[in-house]
Structures are given as C-alpha cells and as structure tokens.
Structure 1
Amino acid sequence: MAELPQDWLAAGRDRAGTPRGGQLGTRARLRTVVGLGGLVLLVLGAILLPWLGGLDQTNVDYSARFIAPGVAHPFGTDANGNDLLLRSFAGLRVSLLVAALCAVVSTVLGALFGALSGALGGWPDRLLMRLVDTVNAVPHLLLGIVIVALFRGNLWAVVASIALTHWTSVARIVRAEVLALRERPFIDAAISGGSSRIRVLRRHLLPAIVGQAAISAVLLLPHAVWHETALSFLGLGLPPHLASIGNILTDARQAVLLGSWWVVVFPALLLVLTTLATSGIAAGWRDRLVPRRRSELAL
C-alpha cells in the first residue's frame, strides 16, 4: 500500500476550507492581544481619567449644560454641566467593579456546582441539575428585580441579583467538562488506586477545569455590565451618587428629547467597546486553552 503524504491531514483540512493550526494559533493570539489591550486601556481610563481631570460630581454648573462635543469637552457635557468624558469613565469604573465581583462569584459558585454534579453522578447529579433547571426557568431580569427591590440602593444586593442568576451556565459547562474528563485513563487509574471521589475531584478534576472557568468568568464580565446597566436604568440598581453607566443613561433620557444625543451615545459606546474587548479575550483564550474543541471542528 502506498504511503500517505506526511501532510495528508493538513491537505484535507485545506480542501475542506479549515485553517491550519498555526493560523488558528495566530488568530487566537491576535484576538487575545487586541482584546486585552483594549480592556487595559478602558480600565486605565476608568481609574486615571476622573482623578487626573479632577471630576467633582457634586458640582453643578448650569451655564455649561449640554455643550456639544468639541475640543474642550470631547464627549460634551451633561445636564449638570459635568464633563461627560470624565463622568462616563467614572461610571465605567463603578460598572466594571460590580461586574467583576458578579463574574467571580458566579464562576466560583457555578464551578463548584458543576464539578460536584459531574464528579458525584447518580442522584446528586440529578438533584443539582434540577436546581439548575429551576433557576433557568425563572427570567433572570425578573428575579434580579425582585432581589434588588428587597434591598434597594444596596451595592451587594445588585451583586447578589446578578451572581445568583448567572451561575447556572457556568455549572453546565463545567459539568460537561468533568463528565468528559471522567472517561480519561488517568481518572480510571486514580480510582483504581483507591482514591475517593472527593480526592479525584480536588486533585485531578478541579485543576483541569480552570481554563473553562476562566473563559466563563471573562464571558460573564460584559454580561454583568449590561445587567447592572439595565437594573440602574430601571431605577433599581446602584444608588444615584454612584455614577455607573446605567445611572448616566437614566439621567440622559430627557436629554435625548432635547437633542443632546451625545449624552447617550458616548456612555453606550464605552459599554460596546468593553463587550468587544472581553469577547476577544474570551475567544482567544478558548482557542488556546481548549484545543480539543478546535481540533474536532477541524476534523
């Protein structure tokens, strides 16, 4: 039988229109670098710009209300005469802080539930998955509104309302990963050697799902930002003195009717840029940390 060429698999992938592994790796690095660079710039702007610009949100200057974007005020001014560039980045700082707390809590909670469900199996697995189905059956925004309404104006109530409604997706992803890992030979060897399920979970399964958990946390970050914005826009989120993006957009509803479009456009643009940056990081990490999915699609 004639020998197959050494690059027969690469040639087959090229005929199928699938990029080679090197190209996939380059794209993953490019996505990660661009996304990480954009997110770093946004975070630095959120930390430094309000401080360097001397933003004082308690100051009211009605003579400077609704000035259109220009050299002096690149984003224009708002209803109180504050520079919208500084106030938007100050709001992004608050929104990112809340979103980061929500993403971490949701990821830890979902990873624990998913890992326990997949590792234990049997009736614990069925019980935990029914709990996940129950949480998913309730509209997230409605449940979040109920939680926030009970503790209105409380920062931790906003964090809890988002974290307790978004851990289920992480739990499903981690459970699927654990179920796949359970079939690997090194897990069978550990169990045959007398290791308990809890020991296998702690020593082998949890370290193996760190990559998936990290990707889930990054993907939850923009989702939590939008969720916090929605709650604040409805008047149920953060206190008014905390200039989150949602509070800024709430104050801008009347300004749009007066023709001051920039009061809405620029804060919303920061939200979109944050989402694109974190999505790029997550896509790059997924291609680099989970190569099995990429190779299966290529085949």
Structure 2
Amino acid sequence: MFQTAPGRKRGRSARLAAGTLIVFGLAVLVVPFVARLDQHLVDLTATSLSPRPAHPFGTDEMGRDVLLRAVYGLRVSLLVGLVAALVSVTIGTLVGLVSGALGGIADRIIMRVVDGLNSIPHLLLGIFIVAMLTPSVGAVIVSVALTHWTTTARIIRSEVLALRSRPFVDAAISGGSGRLRIVRRHFLPHLSPQVALAAVLMMPHAIWHETALSFLGLGLPPHLASLGNMINDGSRSLLAGNWWASLVPGLFILLPTLAISALTQHWRDRTSPRERSELQL
C-alpha cells in the first residue's frame, strides 16, 4: 500500500535522471540558436579564457567557445549512439531469432561465431573496422554497430529457446504453423520489450565507443566538434591550468550516459518486478 524506502529512492533517481536528460536535450536544441556563434570560429585574441559571462565554460586553445562545441559534440554523440544502437540491436535480434528458431547445428555454428567475436575486445575490433574506412560519422556508426550486436543476439536467443517450450508454441506447431509464422505471431510480440530495452541500454555504450575512437584520433575528423576530440585537445592544455577544456566535454559524456542508464534500470524494475525481487534475495 505504501511505497517502500528503496522504491522512493529509485523514484527520486529516475526523476533526477529524467531532469538531467531534459536539461541536456534543451541545451542541444537551444544553445546553438541563442549563442549565435560559429562552432568553428577561431579567435586567437581569446585563447584559453577561463569561464566568464561571454564564455560561460571558457574557450579552448584556439579561442573557440567550449560550451558551444560541447553542445555540438553531444549532438553528434547522441546521433551516433541512437543510430548505432538501432542497427546493432536489429542485427543482434535477427541473429538471435535465427539461431534460436533453427536450433541444432545451425544454432551451434552461430553461437561459436558469436563467442569468437566476443573474445575480441570491442574497442580493438572497432579500431580495426574504422581504420579501413574514411573518418566520418558513418564510419563510427558502422564500427559501433558491428561490434556490439553479439550481446543482444545472446539475449534474444535465450528468450527464443525459452519461448519454444511454451504450450502455445507447441499448439501452433501442431496446428501446422511454419517457423516464419511462429516467429512473426508468437516470438516477436514477446521479444519486443527486451529488444526495446536492449536498444536503450546500447546507447551509452555506443556514445562511449564513439568518444574513445575520436579521442584516439580514429573517429570523427578533427575539425568537427566531437566530445572525444575536445577531450584530446584539452588534455594538452591541462598542465597550463586550463581544466575546463577537458572537464566540460567529460561532463557532457558522463552525465547523459549515467542518466540514460538510471532511467533504463528504473524501466527494467517497473516492467520486470518479479526479476527485480529475485535479484534482491
């Protein structure tokens, strides 16, 4: 009847995370229009300025506004994260469905391929993929999508194997339904919550992956505003005391991804209360 203390705590965390995402979402939408500054504008008379009214988060070593570039960098990161997560989850869902629905030797072969890819660190494999392509947003999306689908494939396969033993699936098979019809009418409706949850959970990983590639100089071109590029540029001026050049893009990465993770955890707790209670035993 009354909400428990842990429940209230989770509710406060979810509201705080939602508020954080709203703030950053408004920043992405509003700041570029309010500032009326060019993100590529170089002002050699205003290099490495500390935070002040004209530049609330200071300027970098080229005189560019750090807040404006961080906002544009977050916009790129969210775009890469969203598209890469959707592509990755789509690939993982299809592979997991095929593996679980076919079973037998086909399932074993597919899972051995998945195990082989999982044995390679995602970042190392992503570097190999993006190194073969021209540095661009598309190359980063391809790199992230092709290195993160294996986890989704394993989750979907396990769910399909569990669904195959349900009575309604046996009844459909007895009634003459083919595999494609069973997948479309029975598997996909039951898998949709897991697929949606996997897509949301994938976004923070994709954002961090894009940032890491850009930090290493293998992601977006240096002239484009990217949070990874900004941290890389700002790290060179840390010894000079210009802490804001790295701190601001770092916060623009950390806070939104933590907020997405917190909201996803709250969503999973609300949609799977039995699983949550079992985990707390």
Q: TM-score, normalised by structure 1?
A: 0.87
> Displacement of 1:73 after TM fit?
2.3
Provide the C-alpha distance between the structure 1 equivalents of 2:104 and 2:68, rounded to a whole number of angstroms: 54
Provide the C-alpha distance between the structure 2 equivalents of 1:27 and 1:193, rounded to a whole number of angstroms: 49
Secondary structure (helix, strand or coil) at the match of 1:62 reads coil
1:264 aligns with 2:246: yes
1:55 aligns with 2:16: no
The counterpart of 2:155, out of the listed 156, 159, 173, is: 173
Greater displacement, 136-145 / 104-113: 136-145
1:160 aligns with 2:126: no
> Displacement of 1:135 after TM fit?
1.0
Q: Which residue of 2 aligns with 1:86?
A: 68
Contact 1:218 1:281 in 2 (8 A): no
1:41 aligns with 2:30: no
Listed as ranges, the matches of 1:95-244 within 5 Å are 95-244=77-226
Question: What code does the residue aligned with 1:108 have?
Answer: T
> Displacement of 1:285 after TM fit?
1.5
- Alpha carbons of 1:168 and 1:35: their partners in 2 closer, same or farther (altered >3 Å)? same
Q: Which residue of 1 aligns with 2:257?
A: 275
Question: What code does the residue aligned with 1:67 have?
Answer: L
Question: What code does the residue aligned with 2:44 have?
Answer: Y
- Alpha carbons of 1:154 and 1:266: their partners in 2 closer, same or farther (altered >3 Å)? closer
Question: What code does the residue aligned with 2:271 have?
Answer: L
1:284 aligns with 2:281: no
Provide the C-alpha distance between the structure 1 equivalents of 2:6 and 2:159, rounded to a whole number of angstroms: 22
Provide the C-alpha distance between the structure 2 equivalents of 1:58 and 1:262, rounded to a whole number of angstroms: 18
Q: Which residue of 1 aligns with 2:231?
A: 249
Question: What code does the residue aligned with 1:254 have?
Answer: R
> Displacement of 1:172 after TM fit?
0.9
- Alpha carbons of 1:275 and 1:146: their partners in 2 closer, same or farther (altered >3 Å)? same
Q: What runs of 5+ residues in structure 1 fail to find an aligned partner?
A: 1-9, 11-19
Deviations 1:147-206 (A, max 9, x none): 111113132111111110100011111111222222222222222222122211111111
- Alpha carbons of 1:115 and 1:36: their partners in 2 closer, same or farther (altered >3 Å)? farther
- Alpha carbons of 1:33 and 1:197: their partners in 2 closer, same or farther (altered >3 Å)? farther
Deviations 1:207-236 (A, max 9, x none): 111111111111111111111111111111
Question: What code does the residue aligned with 2:210 have?
Answer: E
Provide the C-alpha distance between the structure 2 equivalents of 1:298 and 1:227, rounded to a whole number of angstroms: 31
Greater displacement, 71-80 / 127-136: 71-80
Deviations 1:115-144 (A, max 9, x none): 221122111211111111111122211111
Contact 1:49 1:89 in 2 (8 A): yes
Contact 1:34 1:280 in 2 (8 A): no
Q: CA RMSD in A?
A: 2.2
- Alpha carbons of 1:208 and 1:21: their partners in 2 closer, same or farther (altered >3 Å)? farther
The counterpart of 2:56, out of the listed 62, 74, 88, is: 74
Identity of aligned residues (%): 53
Contact 1:170 1:216 in 2 (8 A): yes
Provide the C-alpha distance between the structure 1 equivalents of 2:59 and 2:91, rounded to a whole number of angstroms: 41
Greater displacement, 64-73 / 235-244: 64-73
- Alpha carbons of 1:25 and 1:202: their partners in 2 closer, same or farther (altered >3 Å)? farther
Contact 1:148 1:161 in 2 (8 A): yes
Deviations 1:47-105 (A, max 9, x none): 22122211312321122111112333221111122221111111110111111111111
Residue-pair matches, total: 281
Secondary structure (helix, strand or coil) at the match of 1:248 reads helix
Larger Rg belongs to: 1
Q: TM-score, normalised by structure 2?
A: 0.92
